[in-house]
Amino acid sequence: MIKSFACTATALLSLLTVVHSIIDPATFDPDKCSSSTLNFNFFHAYDQVTDETLAAYGFAYLSIRTSSDSSNCETPLARVFDTARPTCGDGDLTGAPDDGKAIIVQEKSRCGGADDCADGGTIEFDWNGALVNLRSMRILDMDEAVEVSVKIHTHPDWTVLPAPSHPGNGQHVTYDFGGGVDSVTQLRVHFVGSGGIPSLTYTKCEPIVHGDPHFKTWAGHKFDYHGQCDLLLVHAPHFQQGQGLDLQVRTEQRSFFSFVSRVAIKIGNDILEVGYRDLLLNGALHDNLPVNGSLDLSGYPVTYTDEPFPNGRAQKVYTIQINSMESIRISVFNHFMAIRFLHINPRNYRDATGLYGDYNSLRMLARDGTTVLQHDPDQYGAEWQVNDQDAQLFAQAQAPQYPQACRPAPSIADGSRHLRHGITKAQARDACQRGMAADIGDCVFDVMATGDLGMIQSMRWVVKTIEVTGDAIDAGIGGTTTVGSDVAAATNWWVGNVANVTNPGIDIEELFFLH
């Protein structure tokens, strides 16, 4: 069944109501999630778009397929069309300089090159259960109408969005999805006639806990919880086809702040425990693990690096590599720890519960699976205290332990949690802005709580190296370029030299962030 919406403001509000019934706008900020622009410049003209190639260039778990009612059209794989060098006399897809290569529904022709099918067809993007927040899409050759529809998580039916503008005369348009659509699992673009898509921009949320401690769920909900106890972050019994994953964190309080002091993760029958000064595997101490050394966690390599921040302050990073794309990263800076899930396979977490939220519903649910607690972070945090029904992962117990309740956060009535060593809010904000912290609000909170301006270095997204391959080599750029820790300069270099000739989703190594 397809639900149709007319191209009106009322229709758009109706659609957003559907989305916001799942995602609370007060705590959901998808624009602070990682942004991806999918283009096809890393393909060669006339290539077929395969899942393997997309994954190799950083778009894991994305599938692109085509369909058509016409026997004149080639399906089910899209072809790549070079808008700067049109083939088969197909000049109507000649793009602007930034459009580069586009995907098309290929016509069955004998010209031996890319040629979009005049009889029309559909291009479908499927993230295979992962959630994306659509922001914009380029559409080429708007001679005839184009219909755009999406599937939103937990809503099984296709929803038709307000139609893109229809300027005619083969013009190209940028479609903003009516201001953006969140929690999308599939996108379908139907061309009545010819046309192509050179780029699609979206954000994708991946969960994290960091700092004093701040949490972001599967859906991008942000909340803080400052109680002290052992907490169940993720329980995913069907992880890796039933191998199972449990992830717990231990929080501690200091007079001015709180933090994650230990992390324990169980996969299969093995338990890895990480602290500020120690590392345990199944209870055995591994304090001599060399840099770039590795351990085996139920068949998954755990690697260790200790490269310092640009300001010289120490950090440790433990990476559990699930497959060539997916990993779980545990980062340690001073006494603070951060846990990030990167490039997740959504099938691994389809039944996941815990502090990161209920993956199936995207809500912050109590253990009963029905009570919604996303407006009460203190109650929500206490709800997911490790109890006697959960696996006991930490080698040594630390008070409080269930059934003793989590120790509540110190009172902030006197403002002491937010001011230390004379650092004012204005000073903290100025330092965070100059340091380009990834989240200014969280940065200010933590700097004022800890009194440590040096923390800002660990909060930054630092583009450290950019590896350029594929068509960039053809363009004479190639190689590995080091751009240091100047984020603005790195971004300008990337946009000016690489963005239009290679895939922005290519391997941009980032220095981990606690923020």
Spatial CB neighbours of 144, under 8 Å, sequence gap ≥ 6: 120, 166, 191, 192, 193, 194, 195
102 and 214 in a single domain? The answer is: no
Task: Give the confidence band of 488 by pLDDT, cuts at 50, 70, 90.
Answer: very low
φ, ψ of residue 468 to 5 degrees: the values are -110, 125
Which DSSP string corresponds to 250-310? EEEE-SS-EEEEEEEEEETTEEEEEESS-EEETTEE-TTPPTT-EEEETTEEEEEE-PPPT
Condensed to tens digits (0 to 9), the pLDDT of residues 24-38 reads 333 445 545 778 899
Helix (H) or strand (E) holding 151: strand 146-152
Same-domain check for residues 78 and 108 = yes
Q: For residue 328, give the 3-state DSSP assignment.
A: strand
pLDDT band at 462 (very low <50, low <70, confident <90, very high): very low
Same-domain check for residues 227 and 280: yes
Same-domain status, 7 and 139: yes
pTM of the model: 0.70
Supply the mean pLDDT for the chain: 78
In this structure, what CATH number is given to the domain that contains residue 56? 2.60.120.260
Integer Cα distance of 432 and 449 in angstroms: 14
Instruction: Give the Å distances, CA to CA, from 305 to 50, 319, 451.
Output: 34, 9, 27
Q: Which amino acid is it at 410?
A: P
Same domain as 307, residue 221: yes
Comparing 37-41, 282-286, 483-487, which segment has the lowest mean pLDDT? 483-487
Q: How many domains does the chain have?
A: 3
Same-domain check for residues 323 and 295? yes
Mean pLDDT of 290-319: 86
Task: Supply the DSSP symbol for 221.
Answer: B
Domain that residue 220 falls in: 208-410
Residue 447 maps to a domain? no
Output the pLDDT for position 406. Answer: 97
| Least confident span in 155-159, 276-280, 410-414, 469-473 | 469-473
Same domain, 267 and 339: yes
Encoded tokens for 217 = 């769920």
Distance CA 312, CA 458 (A): 11
